[in-house]
A and B are shown apart, each in its own frame.
Chain A
Amino acid sequence: MTGYRIFSVLLALLALGCTSSPRPLLVLGAASLSEVLREIAESSPGGLEARFSFAGSQTLVTQIRRGLRADVIAVADPALLEGLRSRGRIGDPLRFASNRIVWVSRATASGPRLRLSELGSRPARLVLASPDVPAGAYARAALAGLDLLEAAEADLVSQELDVRGVISKLQLAGADAGLVYATDLPPGRYPELAVERLPEAVQPRIAYAAAVVSLSRSPADAGRFVAQLASPRARAILASRGFGPP
């Protein structure tokens, strides 16, 4: 009898545990969004609890395509989400932020820092992301727009797997200049690196988009999470990290 009573109390507690606290949303996010998405979720007034899994955008898309159960996906390339949407894996994507490519350089033993306009006229060691990753493709498109691609290819000493690698080469390996995302250089983090904006005309459009995953067990909450990314509060957080409006 006592055993039965304890058992039923345990069962009731278990049921309570399952219903009273809503499951936190599982948000799959591009690695470059890690800090800003956590901050937006923490400042959320609606009490939307979320846990995050950050990886490369391509990996996240593969996970959703393979039917993994998540609630929200947020990636660094809206074109990636189009493929998922046409297969019915996600709802309509929302573009919520943008990024830009910037020229970054440092003074070295061989001379003062290299300005973008000096590319090709002064010897330099240039680092770019590989053309196979978005950052490298964007950088090459911008350089081509400036008629500087040939000069850049001639000065190229390394092609990196990601923007992080470009910054490392500048910091540690004596490279003179490179092209990276603006959000990778928050004010004050790399005092030795100087940033130069590209002319608007050649600045590629780099957008971030999020969508509700069709398999979500809490589609309403997932929808609220995506919608809040366009809220003034989220915009302010995104802007403070160097992201632009969509």
Chain B
Amino acid sequence: MRVLVTAAAALGAVLLIVPLLGLVAESPWSELPELWADGVAPRALGLSILVSVAAVTLSLGIGAPLAWLLARNRFRGRGLLRSLVTLPMVLPPVVAGVALLAALGPTGPLGRALAGLGVELPFTTAAAVLAASFVSAPLLITALEGGLNQLDRRYEQVAAALGASRAQTLLRVVLPLLRPALLGGRARCWARALGEFGATIAFAGNLRGVTQTAPLAIYELLQTRPDQAFLLGALLLAGAFGIFVAARPR
């Protein structure tokens, strides 16, 4: 039995890791100075970090209250709401972009309201952040809701009985207990935002320095310099790996 488990685990590791090593090995590293010098790659990587971090922040801001609402309240339509807010996860990416265009584009209901305020979202960095949040926030919400559901509420009752205020209970008891769910959800949310392509190109466009994140720059490079596209892919991978290691819970 133990041999079987080990063998399956080894197979899984090989399956997941070998393609990544292949990408790194196949990339023409000698072209790195050239790729870096024309400015497209560094700008795209920088924008990727900015957009993905902003998307995680936004997802936390809107996702944490939603997860709380879903986990701690019984109300009509709760199951429906839960299904609806996690749905963007399963949308094919370009469809997610078209959905955003339909809602937030100039002809959409939210877009018209924004236009009244003089705001045009498409082709801005804000649109790229929204596109990334739209597809990645559900990952954070499901992780947080799961964490909240597994929390033993007696800890909170004890804290309250000992005289802690609701804010104290939240900060000193609930959040520390939620930490694993929060960190796991945040990592998944961030990874999804970093790799986002379809919703971004459809809703925010593919403008260098504005909405052209690394995946979009790879798409454009593939048309003309496929070797450098692989190289940028390997750089994105290396960057993500570095951040994962640095942000690993200790």
Contact = CB atoms under 8 A, between A and B. Distances in A.
B107 interface: yes
B96 to A, nearest CB: 12
Interface string B171-208: 00000000000000000000000000000011001111
A62 B101 contact: yes
A230 interface: no
Contact of B219 (A31, A68, A70, A167): A31
B122 A63 contact: yes
A200 to B, nearest CB: 27
A63 B101 contact: yes
Nearest to A172: B26
B226 A66 contact: no
Contact of A67 (B106, B206, B226): B106
A135 to B, nearest CB: 13
Nearest to A215: B106
B223 A51 contact: no
Given A35-B224, A67-B107, A164-B223, A55 B202 contact: yes
B102 A66 contact: yes
A197 interface: no
Interface string A48-76: 00011111000100110011111000000
B202 A31 contact: no
B201 A55 contact: yes
A112 B78 CA distance: 64
A28 B106 CA distance: 17
Contacts, number: 66
Contacts of B207: 26, 51-53
Nearest to A28: B205
Given A59-B202, A62-B101, A63-B202, A68 B122 contact: yes
Given A32-B223, A34-B224, A53-B123, A66 B205 contact: no
Name the interface size band of chain A.
20 to 34
B220 interface: yes
A175 B94 CA distance: 29
A66 B107 contact: yes
A35 B224 CA distance: 7
A55 B202 CA distance: 8
A102 B168 CA distance: 70
A78 B207 CA distance: 23
- Nearest 10 CB-CB pairs, A to B? A53-B205, A67-B106, A66-B105, A67-B107, A66-B101, A35-B224, A53-B206, A68-B122, A55-B201, A34-B223
Given A28-B205, A68-B123, A69-B123, 13 more contacts: A26-B207, A34-B220, A51-B207, A51-B208, A53-B123, A53-B205, A53-B211, A54-B206, A59-B202, A63-B101, A66-B106, A69-B120, A167-B226
